[in-house]
A and B are shown apart, each in its own frame.
Chain A
Amino acid sequence: MCLVAEIYLDNSATTRPFDEVIELHSRIQKENYGNPSSSHARGVAAEKLLNESRRSIALLLKCREEEIYFTSGGTEANNLALKGAAYRRRRRGNHIITTQIEHPSVLNCCRKLEEEGFKVTFLPVDRQGYIDLDQLSRALRNETILVSTIHVNNEIGTIQPVEKIGALIKSRNPQTLYHVDGVQSFAKIPAAVHRWQADLYSCSAHKIHGPKGAGALWVRKGVTLQPLFQGGDQERALRPGTENTAAVAGFGLAARLSVAHMEESAAQLYRLKEKLCRGLHKAGVEFYVNGPPPEEAAPHIINLSFPGIKAEVLLRILEEEDIYASPGSACHSRRPDPSHVLAAIGLDEEKLSGSLRFSFSTFNNEGEIDRVVERIASGVRELRMLAGTD
């Protein structure tokens, strides 16, 4: 029997956990279910797991262990960063700067803060998704308490020049906090929170082959945030609630496993992207790359438009062959309105509706790309034929 394996190219949405992570996760649930706050041996063992994981994340970010606060995931880390900073610094100023291509967890936090009286500047981006430093410079004011930018955009893979952004912010006012949403960059490209002069950095486990339900916020020592919840004193009372020990431990392991081969992995992912583009080109498929050139974007993300093709239909044609990608951004697929990121980089209607995101992981290989190219080529051919006879 010949079973063709699935080809999962939606790694920006979520990733398949490493086998080691799954094993660790279930072992902890079975054997090490203690509450880290308990004083008995079970509790101590559980607390140790948390601290090991904290060490792994800190190692990756080159920061102190006690600067890592575990959360339920990226969305909570972003909420804690933005609201926690804004509420805490309300008396110092009420202006926040972010970009038009943030993840909804940042965008909607900013909109909420706007409703509560904060002023928010949403910086536009160019056709490749980069913000303009001059525009940022003009937007910075005395009352600016926080700047939040996404590091790697989840839809088009643009890597913001975080080091230049951080330098600009701090040169204007060292008191202004800088938050980097690193959910798509963590363990994929090097992080250097100190070099960037950042104060806050969010990341998430399930984007790096870890379990769902764990994330972290790095908070520079000395920066204080207002907690979102009131409760016990877990995570030094910044994030109360019994810790998700198994997921947090899985997060640490996933980070260790990812970082061990980060450079090779990036090279592999760039090769896959390039192979996809070259293959489509050779097969005579008409397509455009949305966002920066593939070699300039993050290693694992590429967004392509097939003009005149409805992305959903092409996706399902791929899905029939067990190939999974995403239209624009997975979070939007239930809403008919186009992705705010693709709109922000100025895509026209045709390219918007024909846009697909492929996001890779080290589980993917070149043989898979051959099959994907073949299926896209035949699918596009078929759809063009059907559309052409009207």
Chain B
Amino acid sequence: MTDDVILQVKDLKAYFKLDEGLLKAVDGVSFDLRKGETLGIVGESGSGKSVTNLAIMRLIPSPPGRIAGGEVMFMGKDILTLDDEEVRKIRGNKISMIFQDPMTCLNPFMRISTQMIETIILHQGLDKVAAKVKAIEMLKLAGIPAPEKRIDQYPHQFSGGMRQRVMIAMALSCEPEILIADEPTTALDVTIQAQILELIKELSSRLGTAVILITHSLGVVAGMCDAICVMYAGRIVERGSADEIFSDPKHPYTQGLIKSVPRLDRTNTQRLYSIPGQPPNVINLPDCCPFFPRCERAMDVCKTKYPKIAELGPKRNVACWLYGEGK
């Protein structure tokens, strides 16, 4: 493990036991996150992006879910083997999270001040007065006007964008090493989205926080991320720097995805490309490449075995039989 890697995920598996069968929501995901880096995880709904990050935080509801294997190394320890007390010390303190819908994440019966101060007192050991000063300072950083007044209000008195700012202020109040942002702007309008993304970018670089950004929007990752993982049916199918992924995508799924998004800066006179078929149902998925029924370049081997990960360069790999040994 090199020095600047702060989080290393190895072969992470999270399964859910359902009436219909075994749902392998995350099936062998590996990646690492460097200090100060912004890593994007892109994929469509059901691809396992959110479950990956819930598993990292040990937030998988059990039953029906369980972490079926793998390691999450953070500061020399495997989060998956820690006891609950130790995990609580990391959660919200060293690694914090913001979610898609800021209304359901804030307690509607508690003032913003109570919710923010609680975290700060718990993790930083400050007294109530100092914690409130710190909370106000964080709200100010997050661009909330008149934070001294706003802090005593309830969540419903804030707009969607403002609530997401409160969430960010809260998440960063303990100066975490890692911020996990799960679709932070999906519920927001495009002008508010631009504000929030700018804020995450600015605060994370100021505080030196590494960010894992989960999103389905290719536009958002293109503007925000250093490195990108593309997920499909519970696995990472391609990984590379943002430039590599967008200028030279290797996996047929990534290629199709990029071609099927209409772009503002081009006159879209041509017909849009579209990937045929539907995303697979991940319940009882056989051990083949899950993309082969939709793939234009599918070969016989794709129908029988999951592709080996082909290393194409440093931090650049792809899970497809077109590359590496399988070629």
A, B in one complex: no
Residues of B within 8 A of A (CB): none
